[in-house]
Structure 1
Amino acid sequence: MVYRPTANTEARKVKVRERLLKSGLELVAEGGFKKATIGAVAKRAGVASGTVYSYFNSKTHLSTEIFQLGTEREVAKVHEALTQEGDITTRLENATRVFMTRAMKGRTLAFAMIAEAVDEELDDERRRYREVWAHTYEPILQEGIDTGYLPPQSAAITAAGLVGSMAEVMVGPLSSKTEQFEDTELVDTMVAFCLRAVGLCAQATNPAPTC
């Protein structure tokens, strides 16, 4: 007789897998991907190390899925800010503030996601999610271009530029043990930069003046 997992068995497996990823993300937030070893994740999740390999075939596989979980959460927060009520200036400003302030509050996790030295497979995933980030910004930029709120430009290129700029400017502050900038200064400056980059001014009204 061929063994077929019951619904309860499958549900337990899903919960264990979720617990492993949650534990891994907690460890990355505490000390980066280098801290999220197979043994450490297993211990945090309350399972044997061998159990981890029932769900992930390698440390890289585990790290990649931890990265996906963490990044998807942040993308969801930015997407929420971009799709709330308000004019384009307000939504872009709010999304930038969400991205920057969440990164500054969770510095270790943000640095791990953005710039920690990792193996090639995880670095490929990081590049792929940069594209996901950019695609999150494209609809609002295209909306602005189509309505004349923003000057003519490529929504795809501008979105990639915004995401790349925000990620790059965070590397120094996130990795440094000394305060290079006040958090509010860093966030406010990047908000102004991002608005200017797309052709807007802070506190703009509809139709927005270009800068």
Structure 2
Amino acid sequence: MSYKRSSMMQERMQQNRQTILQSARELIASGGIKDAQIQAIAERAGVSSGLVYRYFDNKSQVLIEVLSAAILHEIQILNQIAASELSAKQKLHKAVKTFLKRALNSPQLSYSLMFEPVDAVLEHERFRSKQLIKQSINEILAEGKISREFEFEDLNTASLCVVGAMTFAVIEPLNPSRGVKFDQSYKDYFVTQIADFCVNAVQRQSNT
């Protein structure tokens, strides 16, 4: 009986934790990191601020977990593309396009997690996230070099350039302060242009 109570308690604690993280994510998605204060997170989750502090030391820890969960999901998608049967060129184009499309479909959340001013602890987590994205791109570029679809001097540098294009090219369209809404046709055009740019940057040039 005590084991059952303990199991139920663990499940309840896990549910509380996930509710708090989901509430933080929703607040960021609607108004940015500035709106994801502990009191606001607690109110949205339907719990007390004290309960939030039972699971997290501070706001930064909450935000780090939200960012980590979000980037882990994106990495899983990129890794699925990298492991697919497509050619390396097709993989790179699809990886860039998919990442950017997903960012543009959740503009406030994406902007906040990638670009909104934050403290040094969360900024370090952002850097770690970009390293994980780079690992996925590394795999695709390395495959393309072996298959002679791609041509570049240094794998690490090429990956950094692609990740830079993937992440920083969307600052302007994502920035909520511009108050601009993009329709689907523009989003498709925009992400295709960036994906084409990344592929063309590493694509092996013919000798003709």
Q: Distance in 1 between the 2:189 and 2:179 partners?
A: 17
Counterparts of 2:75 and 2:106, CA distance in 1: 15
Shift of 1:146: 2.1
- Aligned residue number for residue 18 of structure 2: 18
2:192 counterpart residue number: 188
Q: Is 1:48–2:52 an aligned residue pair? A: no
The one of 190, 197, 202 equivalent to 1:198 is 202
- Written as runs of structure 1 = structure 2, the 5 A alignment for 1:1-80 is 6-80=6-80
Task: Report the counterpart of residue 178 of structure 1 in structure 2.
Answer: 180
Range 151-160 or range 118-127, more displaced: 151-160
TM-score of the superposition, structure 2-length normalised?
0.88
| Aligned 8 A contact 1:28 1:108 in 2 | yes
What is the rounded CA distance, in whole Å, between the counterparts of 1:41 and 1:179 in structure 2? 27
RCO higher in structure (CA 8 A, sep ≥6) = 2
> Matched residues in 2 for 1:147 and 1:210: separation?
17
Q: Given that residues 199 and 210 in structure 1 are in contact (C-alpha distance below 8 angstroms), is that contact kept between their aligned partners in structure 2?
A: no
Q: Note if contact 1:32-1:108 (Cα within 8 Å) is conserved in structure 2.
A: yes
Identity, in percent, stands at: 28
What RMSD over aligned residues (CA atoms) do the two structures have, in Å? 2.2
After superposing the two structures, state which structure 1 stretch, 5-14 or 189-198, moved more: 5-14
Q: Which runs of 5+ in 1 are unaligned?
A: 201-207
Deviation by residue 1:82-112 (Cα, 9 ceiling, x = unmatched): 3222111111111111111111111001101
Alignment of 1:149-160 (within 5 A): 149-160=149-160
Specify the alignment match of 1:113 in structure 2.
113
Shift, 1:180, TM fit: 8.2
Q: Tell me the CA shift for residue 53 of structure 1.
A: 0.3
Counterparts of 2:144 and 2:47, CA distance in 1 = 50
CA deviations 1:17-72 (Å, max 9, x no partner) are 11111111111111111111111211222211110000100111111111111222
Helix, strand or coil: the match of 1:103? helix
Q: Identify the residue that residue 136 of structure 2 maps to in structure 1.
A: 136
SS in 2 for 1:116: coil
The residue identity in structure 2 corresponding to 1:53 is Y
Please state how far the C-alpha of 1:171 moved relative to its aligned partner.
Answer: 0.5
The answer to whether the 8 A contact 2:107-2:174 is kept is: yes
Tell me by how many angstroms 1:189 deviates.
1.0
Q: Secondary structure at the match of 2:14?
A: helix
Indicate the residue corresponding to 1:205 in structure 2.
none
1:179–1:45: structure 2 CA closer, same or farther, 3 Å change rule? closer
Task: Give the alignment's TM-score, normalised by structure 1.
Answer: 0.87
Asked if the contact 2:89/2:144 (under 8 Å) is kept, the reply is: no
- Report deviation, 1:13: 1.2
CA deviation after TM superposition for structure 1 residue 138, in Å: 0.9
Query: Match for residue 104 of structure 2?
Result: 104
Alpha-carbon deviation of 1:162?
A: 0.6
Amino acid in structure 2 at the alignment position of 1:184 = D
Change (3 A) 1:210 1:82: farther
Q: How many residues align?
A: 200
Instruction: Note closer, same or farther for the CA distance 1:210–1:32 as it changes in structure 2 (3 Å cut).
Output: farther
